[in-house]
């Protein structure tokens, strides 16, 4: 292939661009994972990651993708035949349901339109009906990567509490952690599931479970077979900075650097930056005359925006044109959204000029691909970005 000048714009909703600081941090020799140098690293990352989750409780780190963290959450808290309450908020909620079913879990799956998050009223009603407490867990996706819809987890927690139900709360934050405000302890989450390749700005390969005391107690008594994913096997060596099997040492170097970057910026500032870029993107979409897939403004995602193309047009063809002409990758529509939407990722290591370049590529691509739209989306975003960001805060309130 001929060389293409400039850099490729990777604007899918993850994996995200890996900053040079993190690449350099990982670019060092692998060390003895049973030695004192690794012990220091292990303690640093196991403690350092906790504020990113908003927790003082244990965070388990696996060499795995986010799917592994899904599985770990299930096998450590549930038993074959248990019942859980889940919601069809998009493609990844549907996949998590399928994974649960493979372990013999009975899933009550509330249908959805892929344009709204979890309805807390339905959560409360379902749990009030469950007088025998057959439902052992409520499992929700915080930020649905396939749709750009964010479920309001505090409302789900309040619904569980109003119903007086003992169900565990399991939350997938794979595309929200480090990008969208999240508070494991304050929101009463029992297991938070996460991955390394999105807001944490790392390559794929690490996954996480943040674990409440209630969930840890459940793991001591449940009957699900497990080995690799067992929290109890992790707990003892983690106390001393070690792992029960070979860890992904160089990714842990990167994780240490990623946490340092997030702490230097400050989590509140990280969230405000993502809110601001999301609002600028939505202003561009509206100026183009296109429709945002998320139907409820209070549920707009600050990590990505899914954009619907007009009937009779193919979002995948638009993505192909943008990749071929402008060397930029956008997220595809998944499952029943295939060809109907494209997804703009605006999370991770990202600034105003990165967003402006992204939106310029989309606007040019819309013209080249013959997608009906109005011009001026980039200008609308730029006018917003020129401000101090105060409007973004108001828009998010």
- Judge if 77 and 223 occupy the same domain: yes
- Judge if 351 and 259 occupy the same domain: no
Residue environment code for 188-218, b if the CB has 16+ CB neighbours within 10 A, otherwise e: bbbbbbbbbbbbbbbbebbbbbbbbeebbeb
CATH of the domain at 35: 3.40.640.10
- Which residue stretches of the chain have pLDDT < 70? 1, 388-397
pLDDT of residue 3: 86
User: Where among 234, 264, 294 does a domain terminate?
Assistant: 264
- Judge if 272 and 227 occupy the same domain: no
pLDDT of residue 2: 82
Domain count, the chain: 2
- Judge if 50 and 143 occupy the same domain: yes
pLDDT of residue 343: 99
User: Where among 264, 280, 313 does a domain terminate?
Assistant: 264
Residue 100 lies in a domain: yes
pLDDT of residue 388: 57
Residues 6+ apart with CB under 8 A from 154: 187
Model pTM score? 0.96
Domain interval for residue 83: 20-264
pLDDT of residue 389: 57
Q: Which of 331, 342, 397 is nearest to 181 (CA)?
A: 397
- Is 343 annotated in a binding site? The answer is yes
- Judge if 386 and 318 occupy the same domain: yes
Residue 137 lies in a domain: yes
- Judge if 139 and 209 occupy the same domain: yes
- Judge if 374 and 259 occupy the same domain: no
Residue 225 lies in a domain: yes
DSSP 33: T
- Judge if 215 and 302 occupy the same domain: no
Residue environment code for 255-268, b if the CB has 16+ CB neighbours within 10 A, otherwise e: bbbbbebbeeeebe
């Amino acid at each position: 292939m001929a060389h293409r000048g400039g850099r490729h714009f990777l604007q899918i909703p993850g994996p995200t661009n890996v900053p040079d600081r993190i690449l350099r941090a990982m670019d060092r020799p692998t060390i003895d994972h049973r030695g004192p140098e690794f012990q220091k690293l292990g303690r640093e990352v196991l403690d350092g990651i906790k504020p990113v989750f908003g927790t003082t409780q244990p965070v388990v780190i696996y060499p795995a993708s986010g799917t592994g963290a899904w599985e770990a959450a299930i096998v450590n808290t549930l038993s074959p035949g248990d019942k859980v309450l889940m919601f069809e908020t998009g493609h990844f909620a549907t996949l998590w349901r399928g994974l649960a079913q493979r372990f013999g879990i009975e899933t009550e799956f509330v249908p959805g339109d892929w344009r709204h998050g979890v309805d807390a009223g339905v959560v409360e009603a379902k749990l009030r009906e469950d007088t025998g407490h057959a439902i052992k867990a409520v499992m929700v996706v915080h930020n649905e990567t396939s749709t750009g819809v964010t479920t309001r987890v505090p409302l789900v927690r309040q619904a569980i509490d109003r119903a007086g139900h003992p169900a565990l709360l399991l939350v997938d934050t794979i595309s929200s952690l480090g990008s969208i405000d999240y508070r494991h302890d304050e929101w009463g989450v029992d297991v938070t599931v996460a991955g390394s390749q999105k807001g944490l700005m790392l390559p794929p390969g690490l996954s996480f479970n943040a674990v409440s005391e209630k969930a840890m107690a459940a793991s001591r008594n449940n009957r699900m077979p497990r080995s690799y994913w067992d929290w109890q096997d992790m707990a003892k060596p983690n106390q001393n900075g070690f792992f029960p099997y070979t860890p992904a040492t160089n990714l842990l170097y990167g994780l240490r650097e990623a946490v340092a970057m997030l702490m230097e910026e400050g989590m509140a500032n990280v969230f405000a930056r993502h809110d601001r870029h999301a609002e600028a993107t939505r202003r561009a979409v509206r100026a183009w005359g296109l429709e945002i897939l998320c139907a409820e403004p209070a549920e707009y995602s600050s990590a990505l925006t899914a954009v619907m193309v007009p009937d009779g047009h193919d979002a995948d063809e638009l993505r192909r044109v943008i990749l071929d002409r402008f060397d930029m990758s956008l997220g595809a529509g998944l499952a029943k959204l295939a060809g109907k939407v494209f997804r703009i990722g605006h999370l991770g290591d990202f600034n105003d000029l990165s967003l402006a370049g992204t939106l310029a590529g989309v606007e040019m691509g819309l013209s080249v691909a013959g997608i009906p739209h109005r011009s001026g989306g980039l200008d609308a975003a730029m006018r917003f970005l020129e401000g101090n960001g105060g409007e973004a805060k108001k828009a998010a309130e």
